[in-house]
């Protein structure tokens, strides 16, 4: 019954996870374009304290998913866990296939743009489906709810903090191009999220109008 009710959401999450995993593997990983947010924090903890991301990711993501559930309900938690599993599955698929696009390390600006687009479109679709792909998405969504900042601004603040701290083990050049990527991805996610909110508000108004006419 649950699967039937949320069939569209699950299909969108599968599509978004596929795009996100493809972009993360072919553009971010292949060209050493790092990430901010939770992923960047996991890498930072690994480099400073030598704690495996397999441990820290579980603790941080589950804690943030629990926080998101408080604001968005149990449906959000279920869909977000599905999104995380879907992303992991797709990432393993692309790893087994190998790199499909050419290496762009000689043109890092282009690599950063494509990395930002892949992450932005992938996460944007997942967010439209009512889920989060990771802990940083929860921070951005809750941040917009509790502060005057928009989703992309919250992404930028958290990413900027983590990337600056990452200068302890990354070069300034890597951080510079990573900032370009996270700026693009944050803007795309914000546009798709705002569009989703507008559609939901219009649907509510239509349902209210139909109820009033009856």
Distance from C-alpha of 70 to C-alpha of 76, rounded to nearest angstrom: 9
**Percentage of residues of the chain with pLDDT beyond 70:** 87
Distances in Å between the Cα of 95 and the Cα atoms of 16, 38, 91, 98, 150 are 17, 21, 6, 5, 34
* Mean pLDDT calculated for residue range 148-176: 85
Residue position matching structure tokens 């990711």: 57
Average pLDDT over residues 118-126: 92
> Which pLDDT score is estimated for 117?
94
Report the alpha-carbon angle 163-167-171, nearest 5: 110
* Prediction pTM value: 0.81
- Mean pLDDT is highest, among 81-95, 101-115, 196-210, for 101-115
Say which range, 85-99, 110-124, 187-201, has the weakest mean pLDDT. 187-201
Lowest pLDDT segment from 95-104, 117-126, 170-179: 170-179
Average pLDDT of the chain is 82
Tokens at 196, concatenated? 């989703």
pLDDT of residue 2: 56
Predicted pLDDT at 88: 84
Burial class (CB in 10 A: 0-12, 13-18, 19+), 186: buried
Q: Report the C-alpha gap between 168 and 61 in whole angstroms.
A: 24
Distance CA 149, CA 40 (A): 22
Count other C-beta atoms under 10 Å from residue 142's C-beta: 18
For residue 106, the SS3 value is coil
Tell me the per-residue pLDDT of 4-53, one tens digit each, with 9 for 90 and over: 677 889 999 999 999 998 998 899 888 888 777 777 787 778 778 888 66
Q: Which residues have CB under 8 Å from 42's CB, separation 6+?
A: 53, 56, 57, 60
List alpha helices for 51-107, DSSP H.
53-72, 74-97
Q: pLDDT at position 144, please?
A: 85
């Amino acid at each position: 019954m649950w699967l039937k009710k949320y069939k569209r959401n699950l299909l969108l999450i599968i599509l978004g996870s596929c795009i996100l995993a493809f972009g993360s593997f072919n553009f971010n990983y292949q060209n050493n374009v790092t990430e901010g947010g939770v992923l960047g924090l996991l890498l930072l903890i690994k480099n400073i304290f030598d704690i495996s991301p397999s441990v820290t990711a579980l603790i941080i993501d589950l804690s943030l998913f629990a926080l998101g559930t408080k604001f968005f309900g149990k449906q959000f938690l279920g869909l977000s866990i599905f999104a995380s599993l879907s992303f992991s599955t797709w990432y393993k698929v692309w790893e087994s296939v190998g790199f499909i696009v050419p290496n762009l390390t000689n043109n890092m600006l282009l690599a950063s743009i494509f990395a930002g687009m892949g992450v932005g479109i992938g996460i944007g679709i997942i967010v439209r489906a009512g889920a989060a792909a990771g802990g940083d998405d929860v921070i951005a969504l809750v941040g917009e709810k509790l502060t005057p900042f928009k989703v992309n601004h919250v992404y930028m603040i958290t990413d900027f903090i983590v990337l600056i701290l990452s200068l302890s083990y990354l070069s300034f050049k890597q951080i510079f191009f990573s900032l370009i990527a996270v700026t693009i991805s944050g803007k795309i996610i914000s546009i798709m999220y705002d569009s989703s909110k507008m559609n939901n508000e219009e649907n509510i108004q239509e349902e209210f109008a139909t109820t009033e006419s009856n």
